[in-house]
Amino acid sequence: MIKPKVTIFSGYGLNCEEETKAAFEFAGAEAHIRHINDIIATPSVLKESQVLAFPGGFSYGDDTGSGKAYGNRVKEHLSEELDAFLQRDTLAIGICNGFQILTSAGLLPGALIANDSARFICRWVDLKVEGHSPWLRGIESLSLPIAHGEGKYYADQKTLAQLKKDDAVALRYERGPMSEHFDLPGNPNGALENIAGVTAYDGRVLGLMPHPERAIRFTQLPQWTCEKERYLRDGAPVPEEGPGIALFRNAVDYFA
Domains of the chain (ranges, CATH numbers) = 5-254 (3.40.50.880)
| CA-CA-CA-CA dihedral for 196, 99, 49, 170, to nearest 10 | 20
Taking the C-alpha atoms of residue 77 and residue 91, their distance in angstroms, rounded to an integer, is: 20
Residue of 256, 158, 161, 246 whose CA lies nearest to 206: 246
Taking the C-alpha atoms of residue 175 and residue 164, their distance in angstroms, rounded to an integer, is: 21
**Does 223 have pLDDT greater than 90?**
yes
Q: With cut-offs at 50, 70 and 90, classify the pLDDT of residue 256.
A: confident
Model pLDDT for residues 107-132, shown as the tens digit of each residue: 999 999 999 999 999 999 999 999 89
What is the pLDDT at residue 250? Answer: 98
Catalytic residue among 16, 17, 96, 148: 96
Active site residue 211: yes
Active site residue 18: no
The pTM is what?
0.97
Active site residue 213: yes
- Residues 63-75: what's their mean pLDDT? 96
- Residues 10-25: what's their mean pLDDT? 98
What is the pLDDT at residue 57? Answer: 97
Taking the C-alpha atoms of residue 212 and residue 107, their distance in angstroms, rounded to an integer, is: 20
